[in-house]
């Protein structure tokens, strides 16, 4: 019987890493986050503090300081030696992840530790192959914003042991209180495989002048009971993120439905990335 997971390592304290650190610490785990340098570690900690302070102000947690005390943000990967579960959330770059997992394999001493990636599109099996313990490597894919969205996709590679999947599920559902779904190691997993072609179809409709952005979104909100329309959702996700998800799925499946429309590429080139840049299919300025 494996020990219950309580010592978590996270690599990368950006948008996703900070969110994952937050939910793990809120659930009572001891969390060490590794960033690439002091400046980014400082920025990562500030991101975490801001989110926890906001959660306290809104009455979602009682004591932000107590949660923060369970999180260390450091720059030395060797600090992860005693971790039972490490979740990598660095840039979406296969070589960077492969190099990192090879290093992680050297530093993590617990023979039962699970080494997980939050990647949205890189084959888990390629990352697993960089380690001496591919049976303990898998995808654990959270959704943005991590403290709000309850879903986690668990992605075993062809090399992942069943026991690894079950132990990760126990942590994600039992400790974090999230809901897990399991899917194969293929670009897009379940959610993006369904969502991205839907968003791209809406972009094509708009691009072709078939209907206005407002009417396309209103159609899906009022006609299909979606909480928001596909173009508003694309703006929220970030058009650059939508584009890279589409590109990785197109590379995997060569399906015309996954091919990014020219307008999406042009908007990303123009810096119209949606809410985060102030302009996308809608104006947020
Ligand atoms: P981000 O750019 O906000 O954060 C990445 C962080 O990793 C940065 O702070 C960077 O300094 C750090 N980093 C880079 N290389 C490092 C290294 N070698 N060691 C330590 N830290 C390092 O990126 P984001 O959006 O948080 O994405 C992270 C991962 O999560 C990617 O694989 C992405 O595909 C995946 N993901 C992203 C989602 C999103 O909505 N943004 C949703 C689900 C998964």
**CATH code of residue 231:** 1.10.1040.10
Last residue of a domain, one of 147, 182, 217: 182
Q: Specify whether 24 is located in the same domain as 157.
A: yes
Please indicate, yes or no, whether residues 111 and 37 belong to a single structural domain of this protein. yes
Do residue 158 and residue 245 come from a single domain? no
Q: For 207-218, b where at least 16 C-beta lie within 10 A, e where not — what string?
A: eeeeeebeebbe
Among 120, 280, 101, 112, residue whose Cα is nearest residue 202? 280
User: CA–CA separation, 62 vs 96, rounded Å?
Assistant: 38
For the chain, residues with pLDDT lower than 70 are 1
Would 250 be classed as within a structural domain? yes
Active site includes 112?
Answer: no
**140 - beta bridge partners?**
154
3-state secondary structure of 97: helix
Residue nearest to atom 14 of ligand 1 (CA): 90
Cβ neighbourhood burial of 26 (10 Å; 0-12, 13-18, 19+): buried
The answer to whether residues 137 and 242 belong to one domain is no
pLDDT value, residue 143: 96
C-alpha 75/C-alpha 270 separation (Å) is 34
Residues 202, 160 share a domain: no
Q: Are residues 164 and 47 in the same domain?
A: yes
Q: Based on the domain organization, do 166 and 61 belong to the same domain?
A: yes
- In this structure, the answer to whether residues 23 and 102 fall within a common structural domain is yes
The answer on 251 and 225 residing in a single domain is: yes
Element (H, E) at 155: strand 151-156
141 catalytic residue (yes or no):
yes
Instruction: Please name the residues in contact with 111: beta carbons below 8 A apart, sequence gap of 6 or more.
Output: none
Mutate to test the pocket of ligand 1, among 90, 188, 239 (most ligand atoms within 8 A of CB): 90
Tokens of 153: 């996709």
Q: Tell me, in angstroms, the distance from the centre of ligand 1 to residue 1's CA.
A: 33
Model's pTM, two decimal places?
0.95
- 192 given a catalytic annotation: yes
Last residue of a domain, one of 165, 182, 199: 182
Say if 2 falls within a structural domain. Answer: no
Residues pairing with 279 in the sheet: 274, 283
Q: Which atom of ligand 1 is nearest to the CA of 44?
A: 9
* Rounded-to-10 torsion of CA 88, 181, 200, 229: -110
Asked about 258 being catalytic, the answer comes back as no
| CATH code for position 37 | 3.40.50.720
SS3 (DSSP) at 153: strand
Cα–ligand 1 centroid distance for 181 (angstroms): 22
| 69 in a structural domain | yes
- Closest ligand 1 atom to the C-alpha of 17? 26
Looking at the structure, tell me whether residues 148 and 215 fall in a common domain.
no
Residues with CB under 6 A from ligand 1: 11-17, 34-36, 40, 89-92, 96, 100, 118-120, 141-142, 144, 241
Are 172 and 200 part of one and the same domain? no
Instruction: Specify the ligand 1 atom closest to the Cα of 238.
Output: 40
Same domain for 146 and 228, yes or no, is no
| pLDDT at site 85 | 98
Q: What is the ipTM of this complex?
A: 0.99
CA 228 to ligand 1 center in whole angstroms: 26
Q: What is the pLDDT of residue 2?
A: 82
Residue 285 lies in a domain: no
Q: Which of 129, 156, 182 finishes a domain? A: 182
Domain enclosing residue 127, as ranges: 7-182
Domain count, the chain: 2
Cα–Cα separations (whole angstroms), residue 88 to 95, 109, 151, 266: 13, 17, 18, 31
259 CA → ligand 1 middle, Å: 24
Examine residue 282 and state whether it is found in any structural domain, yes or no: no
């Amino acid at each position: 019987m494996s020990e219950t997971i309580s010592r978590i390592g996270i690599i990368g304290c950006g948008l996703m890493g900070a969110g994952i650190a937050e939910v793990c610490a809120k659930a009572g785990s001891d969390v060490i986050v590794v960033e690439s340098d002091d400046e980014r570690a400082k920025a990562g900690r500030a991101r975490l503090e801001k989110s926890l302070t906001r959660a306290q102000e809104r009455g979602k947690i009682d004591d932000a300081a107590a949660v923060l005390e369970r999180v260390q943000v450091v720059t030395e990967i060797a600090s992860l030696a005693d971790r039972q579960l490490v979740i990598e959330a660095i840039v979406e770059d296969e070589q960077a992840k492969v190099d990192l997992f090879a290093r992680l394999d050297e530093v993590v001493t617990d023979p039962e530790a699970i080494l997980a990636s939050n990647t949205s599109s890189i084959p888990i099996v390629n990352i697993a192959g960089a380690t001496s313990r591919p049976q303990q490597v898998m995808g654990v894919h959270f959704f943005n914003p991590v403290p709000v969205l309850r879903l986690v996709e668990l992605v075993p590679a062809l090399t992942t042991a069943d026991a690894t999947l079950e132990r990760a599920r126990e942590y994600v559902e039992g400790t974090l209180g999230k809901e897990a779904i399991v899917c194969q190691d293929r670009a897009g997993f379940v959610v993006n495989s369904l969502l991205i072609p839907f968003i791209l179809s809406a972009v094509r409709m708009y691009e072709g002048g078939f209907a206005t952005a407002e009417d396309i979104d209103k159609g899906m909100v009022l006609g299909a009971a979606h909480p928001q329309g596909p173009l508003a959702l694309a703006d929220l996700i970030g058009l650059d993120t939508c584009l890279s998800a589409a590109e990785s799925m197109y590379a995997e499946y060569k399906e015309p439905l996954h091919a990014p429309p020219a307008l999406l590429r042009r908007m990303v080139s123009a810096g119209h990335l949606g809410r985060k840049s102030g302009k996308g299919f809608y104006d947020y300025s």
